[in-house]
């Protein structure tokens, strides 16, 4: 028998169907609430709102489970790579040999950037934040593929396979070009024989007179970072992509908006904020104890960055994987970084502190990802850019769900709390 939820308003009982997901999670379908009763629901920050039904990623925040298309993140991290996981997320199944070979070839074949785009970079001052450049450039990229960025759903969908590989490939080149432009150095062309991650590092760090060659250890570490960022259900940037897509906007415009949403320090920008925090703790000669005390004040600006999560009330499984990986990377490169020691100490203090325990605040993905990126030479203001490169498959898959689904334009309601009707006062009569 199907389950029903009852809501009593002014003595009248309204019944709503309960929807059950494939993992048993439940939601009350209140779509007819307003027409039934004149009421809407109020849920600031959408903390308790299911905005869609999705088949891509499952998270159980209470127990720390993350799965893409049914596969556990731990298994994907151990046995797969970023490009294969990108395929899985976009197409729903692990690829066979032919499928992955053709996907990798398309990504490689799309590595270069149209020469005319080179000039666009000259329009940015060197002080520009790379996330601003990346967002603008992804939107501009759509202008080079007008037949794929039409805002005509059928036509955009017809070219989705090409658009997806273009974006996954070129977001990496655009990121590297933003880095080179800021340094005033010439752009470096991609190489046919390099892997996805090694090519990114080559385009960032090689010089016309000297090649940068990523070691297999560095390549693997970067691969892991990107893989662990590939999708995370209805987070702020993915919800933004879906919102923009729901109005009928093309994939390029939608992911460009996703980059802007990701930029904020409560979302993707947290990976930069974590390193800034760890460095300032180190500079002040604190072992983390004073910082943790201050973080409990309730002042948002003093929060322990890289801690807490809207969905995880348990250790973020991505943070667990990255914590172990960062220890291995540091040991294998014989690196010593006081920032890693401070991070481990902060986690240790917080894990025994009543404030963090009762609020279920654990390290999230951003707590250890910056430490790995720093160890492989990524500059701090590019950490969030790398997050964007990693999140691209998730944005594409979510755009696809909107474009192929039946949902109407996303348009939430509000509770108006401003002035009631007042009479207009001409300027000369105003005090």
Residues making contact with ligand CMC (CB under 6 A): 235, 266-268, 270, 295, 298, 303-310, 359, 361, 364-366
Find, among 92, 1, 123, the residue nearest to 397 by Cα: 92
Phi, psi of 259 (to 5 degrees): -60, -45
CB of 318 to ligand CMC, least distance (A): 9
User: Cβ-closest residue to ligand CMC?
Assistant: 308
Give 310 or 327: the residue with its C-beta nearer to ligand CMC: 310
β-strand partners of 65: 60
Listed residue (262, 254, 226, 237) closest to 129, CA to CA: 262
- Quick one: 310 or 328, whose CB is closer to ligand CMC? 310
Q: Rounded to whole angstroms, how far apart are CA atoms 268 and 176?
A: 18
Separation of first and last alpha carbons in the chain: 66
Smallest distance from the beta carbon of 316 to ligand CMC, in angstroms?
A: 7
How far is it, in rounded angstroms, from Cα 267 to Cα 16? Answer: 33
Q: C-alpha angle with apex 332: 329 to 334, nearest 5 degrees?
A: 100
User: Annotated catalytic residue: which of 309, 314, 341, 381?
Assistant: 309
Q: Between 121 and 307, name the residue whose CB sits nearer to ligand CMC.
A: 307
Tokens of 408: 């109407």
Question: Can you tell me the distance from the alpha carbon of 57 to that of 66, in angstroms, rounded to the nearest whole number?
Answer: 7
Of residues 81, 219, 231, 366, which has the active-site annotation?
Answer: 366
309 is catalytic: yes
SS3 content of the chain, % helix, strand, coil (to 5): 55, 5, 40
Rg of the chain, C-alpha, whole Å: 23
Minimum distance of ligand CMC from residue 280's CB (angstroms) = 15
Three-state DSSP state, 7: strand
| Rounded Cα–Cα distance for residues 418 and 421 (Å) | 10
Question: Least distance in Å: CB of 105 to ligand CMC?
Answer: 32
Nearer of residues 163 and 365 to ligand CMC, judged by Cβ? 365
Q: How far is the CB of 312 from ligand CMC (least distance, A)?
A: 8
CB of 362 to ligand CMC, least distance (A): 10
Could you tell me if 316 and 362 are in contact, meaning their C-beta atoms sit under 8 angstroms apart? yes
Between 221 and 361, name the residue whose CB sits nearer to ligand CMC: 361
Respond yes or no: is residue 366 known to be catalytic.
yes
State which residue, 202 or 309, has the beta carbon closest to ligand CMC. 309
Q: Which one-letter DSSP state was computed for residue 12? A: E
Which residues on neighbouring strands pair with residue 9, listed in sequence order?
12
Is 142 or 308 the residue whose CB approaches ligand CMC more closely? 308
Q: Are 272 and 370 in contact (CB under 8 A)?
A: yes
Q: Which residues are catalytic?
A: 309, 366
């Amino acid at each position: 028998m199907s389950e029903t939820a009852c809501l009593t308003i002014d003595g009248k009982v309204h019944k709503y169907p309960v929807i059950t997901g494939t993992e048993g999670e439940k939601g009350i379908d209140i779509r007819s609430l307003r027409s039934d009763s004149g009421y809407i629901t109020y849920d600031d920050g959408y903390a308790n709102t299911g905005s869609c039904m999705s088949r891509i990623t499952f998270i159980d925040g209470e127990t720390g489970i993350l799965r893409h298309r049914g596969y556990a993140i731990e298994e994907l991290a151990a046995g797969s790579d970023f490009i294969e996981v990108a395929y899985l997320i976009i197409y729903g199944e692990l690829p066979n040999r032919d499928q992955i070979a053709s996907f990798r070839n398309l990504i490689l074949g799309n590595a270069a950037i149209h020469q005319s785009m080179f000039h666009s970079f000259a329009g940015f001052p060197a002080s520009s934040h790379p996330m601003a450049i990346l967002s603008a450039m992804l939107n501009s990229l759509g202008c080079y593929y007008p037949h794929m960025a039409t805002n005509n759903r059928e036509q955009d969908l017809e070219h989705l396979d090409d658009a997806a590989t273009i974006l996954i490939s070129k977001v990496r080149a655009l990121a590297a070009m933003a880095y080179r432009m800021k340094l005033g150095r010439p752009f470096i062309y991609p190489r046919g024989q390099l892997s996805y991650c090694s090519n990114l590092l080559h385009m960032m760090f090689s010089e016309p007179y000297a090649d940068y060659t990523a070691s297999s250890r560095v390549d693997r570490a970067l691969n892991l970072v990107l893989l662990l960022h590939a999708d995370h259900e209805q987070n702020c940037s993915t919800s933004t992509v879906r919102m923009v897509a729901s109005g009928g906007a093309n994939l390029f415009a939608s992911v460009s908006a996703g980059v802007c949403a990701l930029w904020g320090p409560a979302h993707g920008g947290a990976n930069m904020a974590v390193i800034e925090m760890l460095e300032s703790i180190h500079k002040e000669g604190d072992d983390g104890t004073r910082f943790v005390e201050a973080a409990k004040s309730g002042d948002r600006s003093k929060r322990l960055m890289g801690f807490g999560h809207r969905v995880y009330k348990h250790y973020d499984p991505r943070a667990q994987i990255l914590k172990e990986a960062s220890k291995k990377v540091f040991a294998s490169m014989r690196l010593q970084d006081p920032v890693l020691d401070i991070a481990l100490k902060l986690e240790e203090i917080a894990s025994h502190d009543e404030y963090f325990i009762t609020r279920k605040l654990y390290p999230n993905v951003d707590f250890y990802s910056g430490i790995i990126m720093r160890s492989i030479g990524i500059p701090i203001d590019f950490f969030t850019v790398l997050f964007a490169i990693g999140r691209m498959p998730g944005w594409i898959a979510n755009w696809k769900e909107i474009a192929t689904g039946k949902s109407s334009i996303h348009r939430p309601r509000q509770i108006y709390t401003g002035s009631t009707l007042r009479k207009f006062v001409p300027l000369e009569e105003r005090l």
